[in-house]
Amino acid sequence: MNRIISFEQYLSEYKKSVDDPEQFWAAQAEGFVWRKKWDKVLEWNFTEPNVKWFIGGKLNITENCLDRHLAERGDQTAILWEPNNPKEEGRKLSYKELHTEACRFANVLKNNGAKKGDRICIYMPMVPELAIALLACARIGAIHSVVFGGFSFQSLSDRIHDADCNIVITADGAFRGAKDIPLKSVVDEALQTCPSVKKVIVLKRTNCEVKMQNERDVWWSDEVKKVSAECPVEEMDSEDMLFILYTSGSTGKPKGVVHTTAGYMVFTKYTFENVFQYHLTHSPSPIGEGSQQPEVYWCTADIGWITGHSYLVYGPLLAGATTLMFEGIPTYPDAGRFWQVIDKYKVNIFYTAPTAIRSLMAAGDNFVKPYKLDSLRVLGTVGEPINEEAWKWYNETIGKKKCPIVDTWWQTETGGIMISPLAGITKTKPGYATLPLPGIQPALLDEKGEELFGNNVEGKLCFKFPWPGIIRTTYKNHKRCFNVYFSQYKGYYFSGDGCKRDEDGYYRITGRVDDVIKVSGHLLGTAEIENAINRHPDIVESAVVGFPHPIKGWGIYAFVIDDHNRKDTDELKKEIIATVTKFMGSIAKPDKIQIVKGLPKTRSGKIMRRILKKISEGDTSNLGDTSTLLDPSVVEEIKQGALS
Ligand code: PRX
């Protein structure tokens, strides 16, 4: 274990990591099971880009998540599972059981034609079988591509297509709050345009009716009966792909972010242990002095997002932790659910999103009062900036002012946490992600691409040296990876975020500087939402911008042109929402829709989003220079429409 235990040690480790990054990361890579040790720690340039870590190493990440723990902690709980319905019984899987299930399902995959290097799409509810499916893929060297269960058929089919998946793992349906979501029928619709998929493995969860297609569709429960629970690991190269995860970008098409095996493994374990200060035995213990029980850690993210990959599944399992998985939503059956689950499982470390915190804060303290929350030791946030009011409420009402809050800044592309306090070690400030972790070298750049040195500066957040979890490529399109992340500022990885470094050298993220919006912590491309809106037969064109939203952080404001001049505008708006839900999923539903006659465009046809953004924020007083617009009169019309 390479856990930092004091701020002085953080400073010295940080210095070591910058002076000799290779030696630093090699030290963190010790202690894993390597089938063959690496020959060279790092090779890199940010010009192609080409980044390789632990070159020549051979390993399997599941041997490190599972097999490595069996002797010492085989009977310890690996996964605790809380269902959507509090009346349904939860489940517990020990490391031994999780190992058995992952091996068995790995054999199911092989039996259904999966091989090393295949891409397998996973579209499932938050049940233990989802984690098992990830581990089973990794065990046989297949590359998993998890698609969040809230995406609809079009988003799913685009992702299956892009990765050329041959197998889809899904369930009949998913329970989310009071809703049952028919996952399998979404898969059926998506697969109408995905000929690459030869097998669909279906888990029974909601018992809703599904149509099984002969030859193609098989039941999870039937398949596991046909195979043994012995499955040796596939030996993988350090730089073999572990998974693809799609994330939205400035253009309409999502990018398949690729992470590889060894670097991701080393980075997620190191960051998990250090940021959360996870203890395998905790003392003093809320459940008895000197208890040998490992701490209970709960990350509320869905495995469909990177947070779920890195800090619900891989990071915690690599560290031998007990990780809690929750199927439901924070407000079902009521807004006290998170707090009830914390008391039920005596959760020690709780990691969630600012949106959830804001919505539970808005629901009122009466939902918190019935619960003790005295097991909590560390609180975390991720995914979007947290406002001071929500930070304080989290600190006082949930943490009772005794739990450090780790505001963790990172991205799908970074693989793991980059800028964050270390719990209880780094002094925190509300709204600040604070300091870079050892091994992370941030740089703030000005408009001209010059690095801003010293404190009290604000610029674009970039990184000047690779870390083991960095994105390797965007699937089948390396050029796009270069264009999006490495082309704006030569020699730097560009995050797409703005950032301040204050007088203490602390980092505060100011938000996105590109055409993506963080809605409830989910990254959505404006172009992707516009494409979905434009599927409505009456809409010829649309422009989407984000506007500040008290709960979601950012809401979606859509300006649409209806070329049929429909009089029933309320009906039209409802239809537009239904169209977006159908083609993208309900997470992308516009909060506000304004029907307009034209959009503010430059003479070259580019939409001036800056103007629309100001209007959406209700700030119409100073829209800047509009004289370069093709038709400046549209601005007045939009302004009037926004006010009415
Ligand atoms: O804008 C930043 C915001 O989320 C973006 C990355 O989104 P995604 O790839 O979906 O990953 C989210 C989970 C790691 C960033 O570019 N973001 C993430 N964490 C924070 C944040 N903004 C402010 N503070 C954070 N702690």
State the Cα–Cα distance between residues 157 and 188, nearest whole angstrom.
10
Of all protein residues, whose CA lies closest to atom 18 belonging to ligand 1?
383
Distances (CA, A) of 203 to 115, 316, 598, 601: 21, 25, 48, 49
Query: Which backbone phi and psi does 486 adopt, to 5 degrees?
Result: -125, 0
pLDDT of 527 > 60? The answer is yes
Quick check: is 601 in a domain?
yes
Quick check: is 373 in a domain?
no
pLDDT at position 285, please?
45
Among candidates 7, 8, 10, which has minimal Cα distance to 18? Answer: 10
State the Cα–Cα distance between residues 19 and 437, nearest whole angstrom.
14
Among candidates 528, 553, 547, which has minimal Cα distance to 594? Answer: 547
State the Cα–Cα distance between residues 553 and 533, nearest whole angstrom.
22
pLDDT single digits (tens) 89-98: 999 999 999 9
> Position 567: which residue type?
K
Quick check: is 497 in a domain?
yes
Task: Say how many domains are in the chain.
Answer: 2
pLDDT of 289 > 60? The answer is no
pLDDT of 287 > 60? The answer is no
pLDDT single digits (tens) 209-246: 999 999 999 999 999 999 999 999 999 999 999 999 99
Q: Which H or E run includes 98?
A: helix 95-111
pLDDT at position 41, please?
98
Of all protein residues, whose CA lies closest to atom 15 belonging to ligand 1?
411
Determine contact, residues 492/479, Cβ cutoff 8 Å: no
Quick check: is 179 in a domain?
no
> Ligand 1 centre from 388 Cα, in Å?
17
Q: Is the CB of 293 within 6 Å of ligand 1?
A: no
State the Cα–Cα distance between residues 467 and 17, nearest whole angstrom.
10
State the Cα–Cα distance between residues 298 and 398, nearest whole angstrom.
14
Q: Which H or E run includes 77?
A: strand 77-82
Distances (CA, A) of 494 to 207, 268, 439, 470, 531: 46, 21, 17, 12, 26
pLDDT at position 90, please?
98
pLDDT at position 1, please?
54
Tokens linked to 149: 């269960």
458 and 501, same domain (yes or no): yes
599 and 623, same domain (yes or no): yes
pLDDT at position 575, please?
97
pLDDT at position 2, please?
72
Q: Whole-prediction pTM value?
A: 0.95
The pLDDT confidence band at residue 622, using thresholds 50, 70 and 90, is: confident
pLDDT single digits (tens) 31-62: 999 999 999 999 999 999 999 999 999 999 99
Quick check: is 473 in a domain?
yes
Task: Tell me what percent of the residues of the chain surpass a pLDDT of 90.
Answer: 91
pLDDT at position 360, please?
97
532 and 580, same domain (yes or no): yes
634 and 571, same domain (yes or no): yes
CB atoms within 10 A of CB 369: 10
Average pLDDT value for residue range 59-84: 97
Among candidates 516, 515, 484, 513, which has minimal Cα distance to 500? Answer: 513
> Position 440: which residue type?
I
Quick check: is 436 in a domain?
no
pLDDT at position 629, please?
84
**DSSP result, 14-35:** HHHHHH-HHHHHHHHHTTS--S
460 and 533, same domain (yes or no): no
End-to-end CA distance of the chain: 61
For 606, the domain range is 524-643
Quick check: is 61 in a domain?
no
The best mutation among 497, 513, 519, 554 to test binding of ligand 1, ranked by most ligand atoms within 8 Å of the C-beta, falls on 497
Task: Tell me what percent of the residues of the chain surpass a pLDDT of 70.
Answer: 98
State the Cα–Cα distance between residues 378 and 516, nearest whole angstrom.
31
CB atoms within 10 A of CB 86: 15
Of all protein residues, whose CA lies closest to atom 5 belonging to ligand 1?
411
Residue 624 belongs to a domain with what CATH number?
3.30.300.30
pLDDT single digits (tens) 366-379: 999 999 999 999 99
- Mutual orientation of helices 183-191 and 153-163 as an angle, nearest 10°? 50
Quick check: is 159 in a domain?
no
DSSP state of 454: S
The pLDDT confidence band at residue 291, using thresholds 50, 70 and 90, is: low
Determine contact, residues 378/286, Cβ cutoff 8 Å: no
The best mutation among 248, 384, 420, 440 to test binding of ligand 1, ranked by most ligand atoms within 8 Å of the C-beta, falls on 384
555 and 615, same domain (yes or no): yes
pLDDT at position 288, please?
47
Contacts of 454 (CB under 8 A, 6+ apart): none
Average pLDDT value for residue range 611-621: 88
489 and 541, same domain (yes or no): no
Among candidates 573, 500, 311, 568, which has minimal Cα distance to 416? Answer: 311
Determine contact, residues 71/245, Cβ cutoff 8 Å: no
619 and 550, same domain (yes or no): yes
Determine contact, residues 201/106, Cβ cutoff 8 Å: no
Determine contact, residues 508/461, Cβ cutoff 8 Å: no
Tokens linked to 166: 């041959």
598 and 566, same domain (yes or no): yes
pLDDT at position 390, please?
97
Residue 453 belongs to a domain with what CATH number?
2.30.38.10
Query: Which backbone phi and psi does 49 adopt, to 5 degrees?
Result: -85, 160
471 and 508, same domain (yes or no): yes
> Ligand 1 centre from 596 Cα, in Å?
32
Average pLDDT value for residue range 12-28: 98
pLDDT at position 356, please?
97
> Ligand 1 centre from 509 Cα, in Å?
9
> Ligand 1 centre from 507 Cα, in Å?
14
Q: Is the CB of 98 within 6 Å of ligand 1?
A: no
Distances (CA, A) of 55 to 43, 63, 465, 498: 8, 19, 17, 33
528 and 638, same domain (yes or no): yes
> Position 5: which residue type?
I
pLDDT of 208 > 90? The answer is yes
> Ligand 1 centre from 518 Cα, in Å?
8
Domain end, chosen from 473, 488, 512, is at 512
> Ligand 1 centre from 498 Cα, in Å?
11
Domain end, chosen from 512, 536, 560, is at 512
Task: Please state, rounded to an integer, the average pLDDT across all residues of the chain.
Answer: 95
535 and 507, same domain (yes or no): no
pLDDT single digits (tens) 444-481: 999 999 999 999 999 999 999 999 999 999 999 999 99
Tokens linked to 377: 């030791």
The pLDDT confidence band at residue 383, using thresholds 50, 70 and 90, is: very high
pLDDT at position 10, please?
98
Tokens linked to 401: 């002012």
Write a three-state SS string for 46-75.
CCCCEEEEEECCEECHHHHHHHHHHHHHCC
Domain end, chosen from 468, 491, 512, is at 512
Among candidates 84, 149, 81, which has minimal Cα distance to 332? Answer: 84
CA angle centred on 336, ends 359 and 587, rounded to 5°: 40
